[in-house]
Structures are given as structure tokens and as C-alpha cells.
A and B are shown apart, each in its own frame.
Chain A
Amino acid sequence: MILGITWLVAFQLLGELVVRLAGLPVPGPVAGMLLLFVVLRLRRYDDEGSIVRAGTALLRHLQLFFVPAGVGVVTMLAVIGRDALPIAVSLLGSWLLALAVVGWGAVGLERLLGRPSDDLPAAPAPGAR
């Protein structure tokens, strides 16, 4: 576990270094994710390795790590209340529009390139998620 976490932190640090040296506008951890992906591919890293075990354990609780930033909403309630309508409709509308564009766009391009793959049945059974 600690060995895996050591690797994850090391790649986060490497990501920070690359982002700062290259002046990229992404956070260090995102660059670290892409770097780690390349290394795992090149090394043909196996499923029982320490990085996989530590990574899987952390990802199971990914939601927890957003809580401290999310609680910041209490300081913003007055501001949000003043502009509640534009904020709510803009967040919801833009979310839905972009979700449809990315989803349909990717599926449409797949069909165009002749490699469609429907994983889910056409009509989900009642009660399916």
C-alpha cells in the first residue's frame, strides 16, 4: 500500500515539475495521470502490482476528497441566492448540452469511422441503472 502511494505521489510531483517547466495550463496531478498511464503501458504493468492496489483503494473513495472544497458552498450561499436563477439554469442547461454533444459526438464519429460498439442492450430492462 505505502509503496503504491509512494509511486502515486512521485508521479504527482513529476507532473507538477513537467507542468511548471513547460508552462502548461493543467494541474500537476492531471499531467501525472497521463505520465503514469504511459509508464504503466510501456512496462506492461500487471494487475497485482502495488500501484494498481493503492490506486484502486484511493479511487474507491474519490468522492471523499472533494468534500473539504465542497463545504465552501456555505460561504457562497448569499452570492448564489442573489443570482439563483441564472446560476441554476446555466449550470443545468450547459451541463446537459455538453453531455449530449460529447456522448452523441463520440458515438456518431465511431459510426462514421465504422467501429461502433454498443455495450448496453437497446432497451434497458426495467429497473436497470
Chain B
Amino acid sequence: MTDTVLDLGRSPLSMLAITLVGYQLGRWLQRRSRGHALAQPVLVAIVVAGLAITVLDVDYPDYRDATELIAFWLGPATVALAVPLHRQADRLKGFVVPLLAAILVGAAVSIVSAVLIARALGADDLLERTIAPKAATTPVAIAVADAAGGVPSLAAVFAIAVGILGAVAGPAVLNLLRIRDRRARGLAVGAVSHGIGASRMLREDETEGAFAGLSMGLSALAISLLVPLLALWLL
């Protein structure tokens, strides 16, 4: 009896259900706390599912396979970031040069500062190579870290961590920095916290979300071009 229940608890269907319920719990907390910054559904769902697979003793690769149905939608949803951008396209006028320049410089600052701070605090070469592309969206961070000689699965964790950081703290920090142009706000969060940051900005305002999505795409391109270049003298 116990074995049957435990087997069902470890089944792919159960993994899907736990992930969805964790996400709904996060959404419920977000509503209950009237949109408190810490109540990000992605954070709550990761904690719930992470605890569940630890307690149930499910291997992560098995969990990953079981939830492929959910992870699949990241692709079409990324393509869909073209929609808010299309609706906000008028606001691109007069902003193209600032946008491109800021993203390029921001990507370089992100890579160089991540490596130098890690080195100053005693990180080894492997960790430096893994942390360099952390601002890029997850699949890019994985591919770039791999090509640079880092650890791909750890790079994915770093990318998601800074994504969640942007979703939690992005708008508040932008207020502290007195950045009030919604386009620049979206741009900044998309550049450092990719899609997860963009999802928070979309909740705040469509313009911020649209520019965060565009920024995520262009930053991914800039980071994947800059990491191999900067690695020549930095790593």
C-alpha cells in the first residue's frame, strides 16, 4: 500500500502536479500579499518542487524529464515577447541609439564585474568561467558557459538566481537609482535579469515589459559575443 502510494508520488504525473500546485501557491501568495516583491511565483514553485523531490528522493534528471511539458513553453513564450514590443513600437523612436549603446556597455560591465568580484573573493578559474555569462537568458548562459569551459548546469542556476533577484528587487532598486523612464527601466531589468525579470516588468507596466523583453534578446546576443572576446584577456 505504502509502496503503491510512494510510486505514484514519484511518477511523472505527480511531478507535473507538484510543480503546477507550487506555482499556483506562489500566485495565491502574490495575491494575498497584494503583490509583495518576495512573493514571486517562480521562487515559491522552485522551493516547493525542490523540497518535494528531495523528500520523495526523485533524481533531478527524472524530474526534468517529467516536467518537459512545462519547460517546452519557454520557447514559444520567448517568441511571444514580440507582442508587447509590437504594441509599444512607437516608443522605440529616438531611443534606438541609447538602447543599443547601453546594452552593449551593460553586457561588458556585467561579465567583467562578475569575474573580477568572484576572483577577488577567492573563486577558482572554473567558477569564473561559469559565472561570466550569468546575465544571459538560461539557454544562452548554459551554452556560453559550456563554450568558455565552465559548468553548464551551474551556469543555469546562476542565470535563474539573478533572474529571480531582478523579479524581486528590480523595480525597487530602479526607484532608488531614480530611473523614471519606463523604457530605460525595462531595458535595465531585461539586461541583467532576462525573461524572469521581464515577467515582473510585464506585471508592472506593458512598456517596461516590452523593453525588458527586447533587452533580454539583445543582451543574450551581446553576452554570447563578448564572453569569448573578453575571456582572451580576462580569464
Chain A contact residues, CB within 8 Å of chain B: 5, 8-9, 11-12, 15, 24-30, 32-34, 36-37, 40-41, 45, 47, 51-52, 54-56, 58-76, 79-80, 83, 85-87, 89-110, 113, 115-122, 124, 128-129
A29 to B194 alpha-carbon distance, docked (Å):
13
A56 to B82 alpha-carbon distance, docked (Å):
10
Asked if B137 contacts A30 (CB within 8 A), the reply is yes
Q: Which residue of B lies closest to A108 (CB)?
A: B98
Q: Which residue of A lies closest to B182 (CB)?
A: A119
A21 → chain B, closest Cβ, in Å? 16
Chain B contact residues, CB within 8 Å of chain A: 19-20, 22-23, 26, 35, 40-42, 45-46, 49-50, 53-54, 60, 63-64, 67-68, 70-71, 73-87, 89, 94-95, 97-99, 101-103, 105-107, 109-110, 113-115, 117-119, 121-123, 127, 131, 134-135, 137-140, 143-144, 151, 153-154, 156-158, 160-167, 170-175, 177, 179-185, 187-189, 191-193, 195-196, 198-199, 202, 204, 207, 209, 213, 215-217, 220-221, 224-225
Tell which of A12, A30, A94, A109 touches B76, judged by Cβ atoms closer than 8 Å.
Answer: A12
Known: A59-B80, A74-B53, A118-B180. A12 touches B75 (CB 8 A): yes
Name 22 A/B residue pairs within 8 A (Cβ), A-sorted: A8-B76, A8-B79, A24-B221, A30-B216, A33-B81, A33-B217, A36-B79, A47-B87, A61-B77, A65-B74, A66-B160, A68-B64, A72-B60, A72-B157, A73-B50, A74-B53, A83-B123, A85-B121, A93-B113, A99-B177, A102-B215, A110-B184
Total inter-chain residue pairs, C-beta < 8 Å: 345
Asked if A103 contacts B185 (CB within 8 A), the reply is yes
Query: Which 3 A/B pairs are nearest by Cβ-Cβ distance?
Result: A55-B80, A109-B98, A103-B188
Per DSSP, chain B at the interface is helix
A66 to B73 alpha-carbon distance, docked (Å):
9
A113 to B123 alpha-carbon distance, docked (Å):
41
Tell which of B20, B54, B158, B173 touches A96, judged by Cβ atoms closer than 8 Å.
Answer: B173
A50 to B163 alpha-carbon distance, docked (Å):
29
Per DSSP, chain A at the interface is helix
Instruction: List, in ascending order, chain B residues with CB within 8 A of A87's CB.
Output: 118, 123, 127, 131, 158
